[in-house]
Structure 1
């Protein structure tokens, strides 16, 4: 879609002073998908030169905001972490064309803040930390699970830029379980839940996304039974936090959340103990 309100496009390396009407341009798959009447200037991130994915000195993984879904999928496909299959599962949850895969970015998916954003699901479930850069040059870090506060609402201050998301080595060593549902064969996720079992102390985390307006993470210090998981979901997700749109009614999303939570518990607790 043509953005007929944009009057200037600048290289983000020489962006100068941030001003109202500016927008960061990564892959552009959202920016050019619908009218953006408030946008006057695009700051192009394509020449920033950030390495898409790199291992950190502590064995974690840093994913640049400009990393495309295709780049992340290729990198994770060669990895041998126990959590490696989760990357491809979340990439495939886009149900997107090859054009979107090769243009859409991890950072764009997070910064859109849509409940169905699978990169939000991935980074929140693996205890990711978002690194944010302000126009003044200061750096701020926010847990990925807290970065999205509601449907389309992010913890981003005016002019801030998401630079990267770092996943710790301990999370990458977790056993994971993935569940996703959509009302349509090629539809947007209506519920996406991820379970992760800590490799050291056995703690189980359950991250609820897509069915809720924001990521909600539940943790169990000891292996939970069916009743414990149901009670945690019942009290951990308020009724008004279930998302309501054309891709699923709140009652259906709630039902799938309880169903998937129990399936994940069985997979990571009961079946793992056999």
Structure 2
């Protein structure tokens, strides 16, 4: 869709060249949502392409994902065999249920910043203990866990003019054994519940609930809990008002499926590791 109110497109090549943020500005990365509907309040786009951030880089302690990394680039990452949680990348990328055109354009950062409950990059990065770096308008930086970055349906901690720079995934999280469950009302529908569980080398079980709730919910246990303890923890941590309500699923059904999928994850992680 043409954005016929835009009068300027800025193309900074470094952080120092980022223009002063004003009302009517918008960041442009993939633009798959930005160009999908009228944006009559916008006057200027700030194109992040020329910043040329490396899409993916593997360091000594973390995998760094640039906010401008596309879904296709993330899915194509060649993961070391010791990354037992690597299949989560494929599963979450395919939870988009999007065409190859969207895969090549939509960005990881854009999915996080849209902050939709069903955003699969939120599910992936939150479950893997991702920490995002935010560029502040005063030149500083803020680091915050992805699970805390998203605060509700299409809500997050970003203030006007702040920019999501990258997401760091600890390598230790990528080495955890994991289990994935996702359900939709229809075979090709938006996720109504997407849960990811994992077991650390110390035996700590972590469960991340997304899509069924307005924001990510994470629960950890010293070991694999009993079925009743897991259920009680979910009932305590997720009040009924936190379950999302839209055409893709009613809160009561989402709650039921969250409890059911969580128990499936518990049973899978309790079993022997797959070779």
Is the 8 Å Cα contact of residues 67 and 166 (structure 2) preserved in structure 1?
yes
Deviation at 1:57, TM superposition (A): 2.6
Who is 1:107 aligned against? 109
Residue 47 of structure 1 pairs with residue 75 of structure 2: no
Task: Return the alpha-carbon distance in structure 2 between the equivalents of residues 271 and 23 of structure 1.
Answer: 49
SS of equivalent to 1:47: helix
1:204-241 Cα offsets, whole Å, 9 max, x none, are 00000000000000111122010011001111101000
Cα distance in 1 for residues equivalent to 2:40 and 2:242: 29
Distance 1:271 1:263, change over 3 A: farther
On the 8 A contact 2:177/2:273 being kept in 1, the answer is no
1:88 CA drift (Å): 0.4
TM-score by length of 2: 0.95
Deviations 1:5-60 (A, max 9, x none): 222111033332111111110000010112222221110011111110001232x1
The Cα shift of 1:184 comes to: 1.4
| Corresponding residue for residue 23 of structure 2 | 20
Matches within 5 A, 1:48-87: 48-58=51-61, 60-75=62-77, 77-80=78-81, 81-87=83-89
Given that residues 129 and 173 in structure 2 are in contact (C-alpha distance below 8 angstroms), is that contact kept between their aligned partners in structure 1? yes
- Structure 1 residue aligned with 2:34: 31
**Aligned ranges for residues 241-260 of structure 1 at < 5 Å?**
241-260=242-261
Partner of 1:131: 133
**1:53-105, CA deviations, whole angstroms, 9 ceiling, x for partnerless residues?**
001232x1000000000000001x44321111110000000010000000000
Deviates more, 1:6-15 or 1:221-230: 6-15
Task: Give the count of matched residue pairs.
Answer: 270
Q: Which residue pairs with 1:161 in the alignment?
A: 163
**Structure 1 regions of 5+ residues with no counterpart?**
none
SS in structure 2 at match of 1:31: coil
For residue 35 of structure 2, give the secondary structure of its aligned residue in structure 1.
Answer: helix
Separation (CA, whole Å) in 2 of partners of 1:271 and 1:55: 29
Q: Match for residue 149 of structure 1?
A: 151
TM-score by length of structure 1 reads 0.96
Please report how far the alpha carbon of residue 271 of structure 1 lies from its aligned counterpart in structure 2 after TM superposition: 4.3
Deviations 1:157-211 (A, max 9, x none): 2211000000011101111100001111211111000001112x11000000000
